Amino acid sequence: MLERYILREVVASWLAVTGVLLAIMVPFEMARVLSRAADNQYPRDVVLELIGLGAVHNLNVLVPIGLLLGLVLALGQLYHDSEITATLACGAGPGRIYAPVGLLAIAVTALLVWLSLGVAPRAMARVLELRRIAFQAGRLAPVAPGRFRAFGGGSTVVYAEAANPDGTLSNVFVERNRGSVAEVVLAARARHVIAPDGQSLTITLYDGERFEGNPGDAQFRIMGFTEHTIPVQLPPPAVPVTDVDATPTRELVGSGDRERQAELQWRLALPVMAAVLALIAVPLSRLNPRQGRYARVWLAVLLYLLYLNLVTLGRSWIARGTLPSALGLWWTHAAIILAAAVMIGVPALLARARHREAGA
């Protein structure tokens, strides 16, 4: 009965904290995706999917901190309300506290194995594929009336006031930069055609004027024309997905490439991180009688940041060859357990020493 009560409290706290962290992360992911979509003119239908996939890819980093904070808050509340103190005074051993925490840690670790080794790489592969498709669709999309459209990496800007039923544009403005020379074209009508290979665009303007010169100079050359053609070289299409984050885990195993080995060690470290943090959370959440429920939250956040930065640094060292890939990131877990023992044990030893001195 006691184990079930503790399990219910820690699961509810973990879900609540992880949900809050996810709600905080999603707006940042949304802003990043919208910024990229505006720069590369992504179609609207892929933006929401990119936001969702980005959130899924970041879940494997949010879940461990959510687990640690959830356990510290839930157990801290039980300590604050003297429920655990009363339970231990009645003869219940620490194992009755560790049992539900361990059950939750096993479930979360299994979830992270699934996310880190399978779901997150597939999500990143889909993100990169959507970016490639969206970039391709954006660069080949027709000019929409009433909107400025950039081509050739921004060297050519086209604006049309309206579109005619036959596909031509009316009242067209074109600005093109050729080194230090700026060219501005105004035309009554225009038509643009993309080459079959998708590598170039031809804009044909009818019945207009062309202004050409160096910005800042008083002299510009003005020419009228009946028909004027402007070729635009489009940027090359995006390369196929090769990002190591999107590489399936089975392809990382046994690879001799340092970056792939570092990525594999990173994916393996995240589930182990959750298990280690759950183990540390029980003694970390222990409160003195006068301490508030949130007294140990700052220490939990500090420990997680130290842990995450250490794992990230170890990943970078493996990728650069500073550390052998055979060593992996297992040493980071041992270092954090030692640091947690010092952070938790030293204050307790000092408090006992002061208590003995006061009694003497």
Give the CA diameter of the chain: 106
Pick the most confident of 80-84, 209-213, 228-232, 273-277. 273-277
CA 188 to chain CA mean position, Å: 47
Residue 239, pLDDT above cutoff 60: no
| Percentage above 70 pLDDT, the chain | 81
| Closest C-alpha among 326, 327, 189 to residue 256 | 326
User: Is the model more confident about 218 or about 347?
Assistant: 218
Cα atoms in the 13 Å half-sphere on the side-chain side of 62: 20
pLDDT single digits (tens) 107-126: 999 999 999 998 988 888 88
Range with lowest mean pLDDT among 124-138, 227-241, 289-303: 227-241
- Which run of H or of E encompasses 198? none
Residue 70 carries which side chain, given as an amino acid letter? G
- The pTM for the full model equals 0.70
User: Nearest 5°: CA angle at 100, between 62 and 351?
Assistant: 85
- Token reading at 353: 């020493």
Long-range CB contact pairs, 249-257, < 8 A, 24+: 249/117, 249/118, 249/121
Report phi then psi at 144, rounded to 5: -95, 135
Residue 277, pLDDT above cutoff 60: yes
DSSP 292-303: -TTTTHHHHHHH
C-alpha separations of 50 from 127, 132, 133, 141, 188 in Å: 6, 12, 12, 20, 39
* Domain locations along the chain: 2-137+241-359, 142-233
Look at residue 5 in the predicted model and tell me its pLDDT. 84
C-alpha separations of 80 from 38, 163, 294, 303, 346 in Å: 50, 70, 10, 22, 22
